[in-house]
Chains A and B, each alone.
Chain A
Amino acid sequence: MKPFVVLAVGLALPGLLPALAVARRSALVVFLAPVIGALMAAVAAAIELGLGGSLPRDYAGVAAAVNVAVIVWWVVSRRAASRAVPQRGTWTALAWSVLAVPVVIAALVIVPLRALGGPIFGWDANSIWTTHALMVYGGHHELLTGLQNAAYSFTNPDYPPLVPAAGALAFRFYGLADLHLAVDVTVLISACGLGVAGMGIAAVADALAAGRGASWPARVVAVAAAGAICVVGFAVSGIFAVEGYADLVWAAFAVGAVIWGLVLPTSPRALTVAWICAAAASLTKNEGLATALVIIVAIALRYRPLSLPGPMARRWAERAVFVVVPALPGVAWAGIIRLIGVHDAFFKSASAESPLTRATATIAGMAEHLHIAPLALAVTLAGSWFLRADRQRAGLGNPVWLWICWLGSLAIIFGTYLIGGLEIHGWLANSVNRVTIFAQVVLYTEIAVWMVIAAEAAFGRAIGSDDPEPPSVREHSPEVLDGPREPLPQ
């Protein structure tokens, strides 16, 4: 019960108002509020390290500032909002999103979260995340001297603060008598991240509804897929998902960023959710930061395509804003950590192995954990062949975006193994199964999205009678496919 109290009161409550502002008429708020809370706690930990203070004070400051900003934004935009009349489809979408929440929660509680019944404590959970959580709990001096202390170099002191901040918050609630509480909270944050991604998959049916009216079979499949993807996230992560490792946490956030930012139709809401998820991923682990940057750039290019006519300087300025805003928290942490003299342990020494040895071992190691890739590719190709027009009509993003992020993440991880200094075989044995979690879950997401589209085509209303001519190759390119369906931030 304690971790749920921390999640609800410590993370979700401070994040509720911002989540309501972002999610609007969607039950997404249930999962988004704790994610926003965790993000704010991470920012507070960064402030604690860089400027001083303690987590409770800095967290209260960040949460107050964000909530006041949301209230001001609401007051300013109230007149415009009062004029907007909710459409019938909006309420249908709300009803289905409300239905998706208990399904997602049930999927999580019935299967993976049962593992919280025993105090499983992983090695990194002890040596990295709980140690950092204790430092964050101890305040500015403890955190600063702890991260700079050579005796703690085994904790990877440069790692971002989201998981430690949430753990420290849990300790503030219940004291230090039960260190495993930090592990439980970490697992619940993973579940919330997957919940955001799952609600994105459920929202695919909304997009189909906006296009031509999704039938109830497609809606049911979308809700089932939303629940399934949450369990799948835990499945591909294995023991690491339930013993306090942070790998599923960043992967879940990154998958949420992909589905909201690169799969669902472009809208201010989808963009904001994607940015929140990307920022959260970037503040969870170094791989999360690198992958989040790839996703953020892809989102910027999707929302501000290269081919749009207009003043070049303004377009590039807009793209820069689209990258800088969501990337700022993660990059700021990386900057602070280097300013205090802490560096990544993986690149401290040069490897004695040849690049070819490292490359072949890395490829073999990564391939062992990407068995889902052939199925995902086959589903993507079959979907693109049979259902391209349906996807386009719904305004869903080109699948190429998702695959670019998949490749980008793998390329960064491959490069890290290639130029890192640790002995490659031992390094791979200890980590490759964890650093490929995002690559696996995001492919399952692709499969789930195609399943929803296909369900509408297979079981929905009679198809073909109003099928337009197949779009040309040019029309299927991302910049045209992803044309805005709602007013976008200017």
Chain B
Amino acid sequence: MSWRSGRVGKRIGATVVVVAAGVGLGLSVHHDVQFTANVTTAKYVAGANAMMQQEECIYDAIRLKVPKGATVYTTASRFPPSQRLAELSTLWAVPVANIADAQYRLTLVPPRGRSIVPFPLTKAAPDPAKGRCDGVTLKVHRL
């Protein structure tokens, strides 16, 4: 291979690498542009706000209905709401693994005929003092 053809070959090879790499990176960037567009629509943001509002309501309801420092047993028909209740109790009540050690049992109840997972959302105004949080109700039972 002559010096000139080697030089041309190298420049062509380098151009191919630039193009291939650019296409690979560009496609991925394009993917994120599309993804970001999907999660920034008014509908998506409204849904996220509603879920956030529900979470804040449950957080407030626990603080309004359970004495500070009380031991609580969190339960629900399926485990994820139990996790959510334990999380939102943190720094206020003390979740315990054994119901025999608990002073209160916390339960999230869905509207009649609805499943608790995914968390149902309604347009009802949140009322943390009564444990009503946009579709789920926090029930607190003293043990």
A residues contacting B by CB (< 8 A) are: 111-112, 114-115, 117-121, 123, 126-127, 130-131, 134-135, 137-138, 142, 146, 149-155, 176, 179-180, 221, 225, 228-229, 231-232, 234-236, 238-239, 242, 372, 375-376, 378-379, 382-383, 385-387, 444, 447-448, 450-451, 453-455, 457-459, 463-464, 467
> Which 5 residue pairs of A and B lie closest in terms of their CB atoms, listed nearest first?
A386-B13, A235-B32, A464-B7, A118-B45, A451-B21
CB distance from B63 to the nearest CB of A (A): 10
Please give, as numbers and ranges, the residues of chain B lying within 8 Å of A382 by CB-CB distance: 13, 16-17, 20
Residue contact B29 to A111, C-beta cutoff 8 Å: yes
Residue contact B40 to A114, C-beta cutoff 8 Å: yes
Q: Which of B85-93, B108-116, B120-128, B130-138 contacts A (4 or more CB under 8 A)?
A: B85-93
**Pick from A155, A242, A387, A463: contact of B17, CB under 8 Å:** A387
For chain B, give the interface size range.
35 or more
12 sample A-B contacts, Cβ–Cβ < 8 Å, listed by A number: A120-B39, A149-B94, A151-B95, A152-B95, A379-B21, A379-B24, A382-B13, A387-B10, A447-B20, A463-B11, A464-B10, A467-B7
**Pick from B15, B39, B51, B84: contact of A127, CB under 8 Å:** B84
Q: Contacts A232-B25, A235-B35: A454 and B45 contacting too (C-beta < 8 A)?
A: no
Residue contact A458 to B18, C-beta cutoff 8 Å: yes
Compute how far the CA of A234 lies from the CA of B95 in the bound complex, rounded to whole angstroms. 35
Please give, as numbers and ranges, the residues of chain A lying within 8 Å of B80 by CB-CB distance: 123
Closest residue of chain B to A178 (Cβ to Cβ) is B56
Please give, as numbers and ranges, the residues of chain B lying within 8 Å of A111 by CB-CB distance: 29, 32-33, 36
Closest residue of chain A to B26 (Cβ to Cβ) is A228
Please give, as numbers and ranges, the residues of chain B lying within 8 Å of A131 by CB-CB distance: 86-87, 90
Closest residue of chain B to A242 (Cβ to Cβ) is B39
Total residue contacts A-B, CB cutoff 8 A: 169
**Prevailing SS type, chain B contact patch:** helix
Closest residue of chain A to B48 (Cβ to Cβ) is A118
Q: Contacts A149-B97, A457-B11: A451 and B17 contacting too (C-beta < 8 A)?
A: yes
Interface centre among A176, A225, A387, A457 (most CB of B within 10 A): A457
Q: Which of B28-51 contact A (CB under 8 A)?
A: 28-29, 31-33, 35-36, 39-40, 44-45, 48-49, 51
Decide if B104 is an interface residue (CB 8 Å cutoff): no
CB distance from A4 to the nearest CB of B (A): 18
Residue contact A117 to B29, C-beta cutoff 8 Å: no
Please give, as numbers and ranges, the residues of chain A lying within 8 Å of B14 by CB-CB distance: 386-387, 453-455, 457-458
Residue contact B20 to A121, C-beta cutoff 8 Å: no
Residue contact A236 to B13, C-beta cutoff 8 Å: no
Residue contact A232 to B32, C-beta cutoff 8 Å: yes
Q: Contacts A121-B52, A457-B14: A126 and B91 contacting too (C-beta < 8 A)?
A: no
**Pick from A115, A231, A238: contact of B40, CB under 8 Å:** A115
Please give, as numbers and ranges, the residues of chain B lying within 8 Å of A134 by CB-CB distance: 87, 90-91
Please give, as numbers and ranges, the residues of chain A lying within 8 Å of B91 by CB-CB distance: 134-135, 137-138, 142, 176
B residues contacting A by CB (< 8 A) are: 3, 6-7, 9-11, 13-18, 20-22, 24-26, 28-29, 31-33, 35-36, 39-40, 44-45, 48-49, 51-52, 55-56, 59, 74, 79-80, 83-84, 86-87, 90-91, 94-97
Residue contact A463 to B52, C-beta cutoff 8 Å: no
Residue contact A180 to B52, C-beta cutoff 8 Å: yes
Residue contact B22 to A463, C-beta cutoff 8 Å: no
Please give, as numbers and ranges, the residues of chain B lying within 8 Å of A130 by CB-CB distance: 87
Please give, as numbers and ranges, the residues of chain B lying within 8 Å of A180 by CB-CB distance: 52
Please give, as numbers and ranges, the residues of chain B lying within 8 Å of A126 by CB-CB distance: 55, 83-84, 87
Residue contact A450 to B83, C-beta cutoff 8 Å: no
Closest residue of chain B to A123 (Cβ to Cβ) is B80
Residue contact A150 to B97, C-beta cutoff 8 Å: yes
Please give, as numbers and ranges, the residues of chain A lying within 8 Å of B6 by CB-CB distance: 464
Closest residue of chain A to B47 (Cβ to Cβ) is A118
Residue contact A117 to B45, C-beta cutoff 8 Å: yes
CB distance from A464 to the nearest CB of B (A): 4
Please give, as numbers and ranges, the residues of chain B lying within 8 Å of A176 by CB-CB distance: 91
Residue contact B97 to A119, C-beta cutoff 8 Å: no
Residue contact A179 to B55, C-beta cutoff 8 Å: yes
**Pick from B9, B21, B90: contact of A448, CB under 8 Å:** B21
Q: Contacts A118-B39, A454-B21: A232 and B29 contacting too (C-beta < 8 A)?
A: yes
Please give, as numbers and ranges, the residues of chain A lying within 8 Å of B7 by CB-CB distance: 463-464, 467
- Other A-B pairs, 5, CB within 8 Å; known A114-B40, A119-B51: A118-B45, A120-B48, A382-B16, A448-B21, A459-B18
Compute how far the CA of A130 lies from the CA of B31 in the bound complex, rounded to whole angstroms. 29
Compute how far the CA of A249 lies from the CA of B77 in the bound complex, rounded to whole angstroms. 34
CB distance from A166 to the nearest CB of B (A): 17
Residue contact B24 to A375, C-beta cutoff 8 Å: yes
Closest residue of chain B to A180 (Cβ to Cβ) is B52
Please give, as numbers and ranges, the residues of chain B lying within 8 Å of A155 by CB-CB distance: 87
Residue contact B11 to A458, C-beta cutoff 8 Å: yes
Please give, as numbers and ranges, the residues of chain B lying within 8 Å of A232 by CB-CB distance: 25, 28-29, 32
Compute how far the CA of A155 lies from the CA of B17 in the bound complex, rounded to whole angstroms. 45
CB distance from B122 to the nearest CB of A (A): 19
CB distance from A68 to the nearest CB of B (A): 33
Please give, as numbers and ranges, the residues of chain B lying within 8 Å of A372 by CB-CB distance: 24, 28
Please give, as numbers and ranges, the residues of chain B lying within 8 Å of A225 by CB-CB distance: 25
Q: Contacts A114-B36, A127-B84, A386-B10: A464 and B49 contacting too (C-beta < 8 A)?
A: no
CB distance from B14 to the nearest CB of A (A): 4
CB distance from A262 to the nearest CB of B (A): 19
Compute how far the CA of A45 lies from the CA of B4 in the bound complex, rounded to whole angstroms. 62
**Pick from A153, A235, A450: contact of B31, CB under 8 Å:** A235
Please give, as numbers and ranges, the residues of chain A lying within 8 Å of B45 by CB-CB distance: 117-118
Please give, as numbers and ranges, the residues of chain A lying within 8 Å of B87 by CB-CB distance: 126-127, 130-131, 134, 155
